[in-house]
C-alpha cells in the first residue's frame, strides 16, 4: 500500500487531500492501495481570512465533515519534524512516526511578532484563539474606567490585514463606546514603518483606501513602529507616546518553521522553492503548497500568501503527489488571474485585478463581493463528495 501524507488542515491541505482522492478514484485505484492521511493539530479548517471580523460562529469547518466522506484518514496532531531521508514525519502527543511515499507540506504561515517591552500585551488576529482574545478584551472595555485610552486602538501594520482590522475596529469600538455613552472617544491609529499605507498593495488602490480611512477618521502614523507598550502607553520609534487600551499587531507573515525542516532553499518569507509541479527540488517525494510554498503565479510574480493562491496550489500538489504514484501525468501549476478584495469596514471594500492592482470595484459593489468571498466562495462543500471532487479538479473552472 502507498501512502500520501498531508501536513496541515488549512485551505491548501484540504484541497490537496481532495485532489489526491479525486485522481485515485478517477484511476479506479482502491483505497487499500493508496491511502490519503491528513495531519493537523486542529480538527477544523479555520477560515483565517475572516479573523479580522467579529469572530463569526462559522469561522471553522470540521475536517471530518469535508474529508471524512472521501475516506481521508484525519490525524489530530502536530508534526514536529520531517526526515526526508527516511520519508517519515514525527508527531507530538506520543504518536508513532508516520511513514510516507509522498508528503504535501501545507502547514501555512504565522504572523511574526517581534519581542519588545510589553509585547506580550499586544493582540493579533492570526488564529481563532487570538481573535477571540481580542474580542473578549474589546468587550471588557466598557467595564474599565473612562480614560483617553479606553476606546483608542493602535493597529501595527498598514498592509492588507492591518487595514481590514483598523477599518473593522472603527465600527466595533463605536458600538461599544456608544453603549458606554462615550461615542466621541473612539480613536483608531494605524502605524507602519513604511511611509505609505498599503505599501505592498501599490499605488492603484491607495487613493480609495486613503479616502476610506479619512471618512472613518482612522489616523495614520507612517515611518514609525512600536518600541514598547507599558499599560496604556504605547511608545513609538520616534519617541512619541500614544495612549491606547488596545494594540493589535498585524505586520509580517512568515511560512511555518516546518518548511525549514525540508533542508531546501527558502525565499525571504521562509517559503520553499518548488518546481512547476509544486515538488520540492532535492527532497524526493515532497511537495509544498499554500503559504509554505513559493511558485510563480505569473512571470516574475511569486504567489501571495493568500487563500486565492493556497486553494489551487493545494489542488495541484495533491493531484501531482497522487499522479507520481499512479503513473498519471503531472499538471504544471497555473494560478487563476490575480485579484484582491480589501474590506474597508463601513466604507465598503476595494476590488482590484492584476499584480498592478487596477481598481475595478469600490464601495458597496466591492463589499458585496467581499461578503460572498468570506461567507461562501472560500468554504469547501460539506458532506458532499460529488461537489468536493468536482471542485478538486485543478483544471476545473472553479479551481480557485
Ligand X SMILES: Cc1cc2nc3c(=O)[nH]c(=O)nc-3n(C[C@H](O)[C@H](O)[C@H](O)COP(=O)(O)OP(=O)(O)OC[C@H]3O[C@@H](n4cnc5c(N)ncnc54)[C@H](O)[C@@H]3O)c2cc1C
* Angle formed at CA 276 by CA 45 and CA 259, multiple of 5 degrees: 50
Query: Which among 301, 241, 257 has a CA at the least distance from the CA of 112?
Result: 257
d(CA 284, CA 112): 30
Give the pairing type, strands 187-192 and 218-222.
parallel
Complete edge-to-edge strand list for the sheet that includes strand 73-76: 73-76, 34-40, 2-7, 102-105, 286-288
Shortest Cβ distance from residue 157 to ligand X (Å)?
A: 11
d(CA 260, CA 266): 7
Q: Are 266 and 233 in contact (CB under 8 A)?
A: no
C-alpha cell at 348: 465598503
Which one of residues 5, 11, 338, 351 is an interface residue with ligand X (CB under 6 A)? Answer: 11
Residue 326: DSSP 8-state: H
Size of the site for ligand X (CB under 6 A): 33
Per-residue contact flags (x/-) with ligand X for residues 256 to 275, judged by CB under 6 A: x-x-----------------
Residue 98 or 182 having the CB closest to ligand X = 98
Residue 156: DSSP 8-state: E
Q: What is the CA radius of gyration of the chain?
A: 22
Measured between alpha carbons, how far is residue 179 from residues 168, 182, 184 in Å?
Answer: 17, 7, 12
Shortest Cβ distance from residue 359 to ligand X (Å)?
A: 16
Question: Counting contacts by CB under 6 A, is residue 37 touching ligand X?
Answer: no
Stretch that binds ligand X, among 20-28, 103-111, 224-232, 234-242 (CB under 6 A): 103-111
Stretch that binds ligand X, among 45-53, 141-149, 176-184, 210-218 (CB under 6 A): 45-53
Q: Dihedral sign, CA of 226, 227, 231, 232?
A: negative
Which one of residues 75, 84, 100, 126 is an interface residue with ligand X (CB under 6 A)? Answer: 126
d(CA 64, CA 252): 32
Residue 364: DSSP 8-state: H
Question: What torsion, rounded to 10 degrees, do the Cα atoms 204, 208, 213, 215 define?
Answer: 160
d(CA 229, CA 153): 13
Question: Counting contacts by CB under 6 A, is residue 87 touching ligand X?
Answer: no
Stretch that binds ligand X, among 39-47, 146-154, 183-191, 392-400 (CB under 6 A): 39-47
* Residues of this chain, 264-323, that bind ligand X according to CB under 6 A: 290-291, 305-308, 310
| Residue whose grid cell is 517591552 | 117
Residue 288 or 322 having the CB closest to ligand X = 288
Q: How many residues are listed for the chain in this entry?
A: 400
Question: Counting contacts by CB under 6 A, is residue 48 touching ligand X?
Answer: yes
Question: Counting contacts by CB under 6 A, is residue 106 touching ligand X?
Answer: yes
Question: Counting contacts by CB under 6 A, is residue 10 touching ligand X?
Answer: yes
Which one of residues 22, 23, 36, 40 is an interface residue with ligand X (CB under 6 A)? Answer: 40
Shortest Cβ distance from residue 329 to ligand X (Å)?
A: 25
Residue 79 or 213 having the CB closest to ligand X = 79
Stretch that binds ligand X, among 106-114, 143-151, 210-218, 325-333 (CB under 6 A): 106-114
Residue 285 or 380 having the CB closest to ligand X = 380
Stretch that binds ligand X, among 36-44, 175-183, 266-274, 388-396 (CB under 6 A): 36-44
Residue 40 or 352 having the CB closest to ligand X = 40
Binding site for ligand X (CB under 6 A): 7-13, 39-42, 48-49, 51-52, 78-79, 106-109, 125-126, 161, 256, 258, 290-291, 305-308, 310
Amino acid at each position: 500500500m502507498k501512502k500520501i501524507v498531508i501536513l496541515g488542515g488549512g485551505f491548501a491541505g484540504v484541497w490537496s487531500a481532495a485532489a489526491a482522492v479525486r485522481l485515485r478514484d478517477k484511476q479506479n485505484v482502491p483505497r487499500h492501495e493508496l491511502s490519503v492521511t491528513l495531519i493537523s493539530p486542529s480538527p477544523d479548517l479555520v477560515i483565517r481570512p475572516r479573523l479580522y471580523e467579529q469572530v463569526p460562529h462559522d469561522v471553522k469547518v470540521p475536517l471530518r465533515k469535508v474529508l471524512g466522506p472521501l475516506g481521508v484518514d484525519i490525524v489530530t496532531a502536530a508534526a514536529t519534524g520531517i526526515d526526508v531521508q527516511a520519508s517519515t514525519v514525527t508527531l507530538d502527543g506520543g504518536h508513532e512516526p508516520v511513514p510516507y511515499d509522498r508528503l504535501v507540506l501545507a502547514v501555512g504561515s504565522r504572523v511574526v511578532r517581534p519581542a519588545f517591552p510589553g509585547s506580550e500585551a499586544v493582540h493579533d488576529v492570526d488564529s481563532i484563539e487570538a481573535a477571540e482574545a481580542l474580542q473578549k478584551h474589546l468587550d471588557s472595555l466598557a467595564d474599565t474606567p473612562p480614560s483617553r485610552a479606553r476606546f483608542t486602538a493602535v493597529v501595527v501594520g498598514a498592509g492588507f490585514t492591518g487595514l481590514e482590522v483598523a477599518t473593522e475596529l472603527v465600527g466595533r469600538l463605536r458600538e461599544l463606546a456608544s453603549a458606554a455613552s462615550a461615542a466621541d472617544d473612539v480613536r483608531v491609529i494605524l502605524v507602519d514603518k513604511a511611509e505609505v499605507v498599503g505599501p505592498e498593495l501599490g499605488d492603484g488602490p491607495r487613493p480609495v483606501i486613503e479616502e476610506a480611512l479619512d471618512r472613518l477618521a482612522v489616523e495614520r502614523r507612517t515611518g514609525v513602529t512600536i518600541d514598547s507598550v507599558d499599560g496604556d502607553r504605547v511608545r513609538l520609534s520616534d519617541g512619541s507616546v500614544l495612549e491606547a487600551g488596545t494594540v493589535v499587531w498585524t505586520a509580517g507573515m512568515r511560512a511555518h518553521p516546518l518548511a525549514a525542516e525540508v533542508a531546501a532553499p527558502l525565499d525571504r518569507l521562509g517559503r520553499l522553492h518548488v518546481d512547476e509541479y509544486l515538488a520540492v527540488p532535492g527532497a524526493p517525494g515532497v511537495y509544498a503548497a499554500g503559504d509554505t510554498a513559493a511558485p510563480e503565479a505569473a512571470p516574475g510574480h511569486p504567489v501571495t500568501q493568500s487563500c486565492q493562491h493556497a486553494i489551487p496550489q493545494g489542488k495541484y500538489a495533491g493531484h501531482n503527489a497522487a499522479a507520481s504514484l499512479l503513473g498519471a501525468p503531472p499538471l504544471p501549476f497555473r494560478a487563476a488571474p490575480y485579484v484582491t478584495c480589501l474590506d474597508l469596514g463601513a466604507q465598503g471594500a476595494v476590488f482590484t485585478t492584476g499584480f498592478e492592482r487596477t481598481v475595478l470595484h469600490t464601495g458597496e459593489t466591492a463589499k458585496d463581493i467581499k461578503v460572498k468571498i468570506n461567507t461562501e466562495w472560500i468554504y469547501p462543500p460539506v458532506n458532499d463528495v460529488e461537489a468536493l471532487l468536482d471542485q478538486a479538479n485543478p483544471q476545473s473552472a472553479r479551481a480557485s
